């Protein structure tokens, strides 16, 4: 089985880290490639960034169909381009936000998302509603570290841990969801220190794609997710 994990931003170091997280949880025999678009924003922290990034994601899906992948992961917590990608890909496409937030439902009563900038909180609530997990979401809290600083800022781990700790105490959360693919390398350490389940969306989405492929399940092509109507695109 070949899975293509798409980092929607153009930061190659983040793509490498995402690759590692995805590969760490797959079964023997599952091959994972991680890529990023060559053009687009270096990180995704606004609706504007997300609109630009969606184009890059779709180009990678289109290429992936030629390359012969069985399924795809969109590795940015806003799941940019997800529904459009489902129209284009033959195999399943899973976003890291939907996968991590649905996975939380198997593990506890309430999860809080720890995200980067507060300005993305509204968008995250929107998709939480869309995915049916808003009732289970006890909070979306920002650490106010920009995406590209996550790997550079030596205080990042401590900041994220402190925000998560606050969520456990103040929100009544019993599960933590990491709200950025760039946090996936911190997952194990956080889980060990916090002693609650901490979910990395990259692993959650990649194992979900694996499961869907193994069950022979693909996106419905009856209606909304059929291939987009062919038309003039100038």
- Which segment (22-30, 149-157, 158-166, 177-185) binds its own copies by CB under 8 A? 22-30
Largest CA distance in the chain: 55
CB count, 10 Å around CB of 216? Answer: 6
Q: Given candidates 40, 64, 179, 182, which one binds its own copies under the rule CB under 8 A?
A: 40
Cα distances (angstroms) measured from residue 20 to each of 15, 72, 128, 206 = 9, 16, 26, 11
Rounded to whole angstroms, the Cα distance separating 151 from 89 reads 32
Is residue 191 a contact residue for its own copies (CB under 8 A)? yes
Q: Which x/- pattern, by CB under 8 A, does the window 89-118 give for its own copies?
A: ---x-x---xx--xx-xxxxxx------xx
Name which of residues 57 to 86 contact its own copies (CB under 8 A).
58, 81, 83-84, 86
Instruction: Choose between 166 and 191: whose C-beta lies nearer to its own copies.
Output: 191
Size of the site for its own copies (CB under 8 A): 97
Structure tokens at 214: 């193994």
Name which of residues 119 to 178 contact its own copies (CB under 8 A).
119-123, 126, 129-136, 146, 148, 168, 172, 174-175
The bridge status of strand 71-74 relative to strand 111-115 is unpaired
Residue that has been written with the tokens 């956080």 in this structure: 190
Nearest approach in angstroms of CB 150 to its own copies is 14
- Which segment (149-157, 158-166, 177-185, 205-213) binds its own copies by CB under 8 A? 205-213
């Amino acid at each position: 089985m070949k899975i293509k994990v798409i980092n929607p931003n153009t930061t190659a170091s983040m793509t490498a880290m995402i690759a590692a997280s995805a590969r760490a949880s797959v079964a023997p025999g599952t091959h994972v490639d991680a890529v990023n678009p060559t053009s687009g924003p270096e990180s995704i922290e606004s609706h504007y960034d997300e609109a630009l990034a969606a184009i890059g994601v779709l180009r990678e899906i289109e290429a992936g169909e030629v390359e012969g992948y069985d399924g795809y992961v969109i590795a940015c917590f806003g799941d940019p381009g997800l529904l459009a990608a489902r129209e284009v890909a033959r195999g399943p496409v899973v976003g890291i936000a939907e996968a991590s937030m649905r996975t939380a439902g198997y593990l506890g009563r309430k999860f809080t998302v720890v995200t980067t900038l507060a300005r993305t909180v509204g968008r995250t609530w929107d998709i939480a509603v869309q995915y049916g997990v808003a009732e289970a979401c006890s909070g979306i809290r920002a650490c106010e570290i920009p995406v590209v600083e996550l790997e550079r800022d030596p205080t990042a781990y401590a900041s994220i841990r402190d925000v998560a700790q606050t969520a456990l105490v103040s929100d009544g959360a019993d599960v933590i969801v990491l709200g950025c693919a760039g946090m996936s390398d911190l997952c194990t350490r956080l889980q060990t220190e916090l002693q609650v389940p901490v979910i990395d969306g990259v692993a959650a989405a990649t194992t979900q794609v694996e499961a869907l492929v193994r069950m022979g399940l693909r996106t419905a092509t009856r209606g909304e997710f059929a291939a987009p109507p062919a038309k003039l695109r100038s």
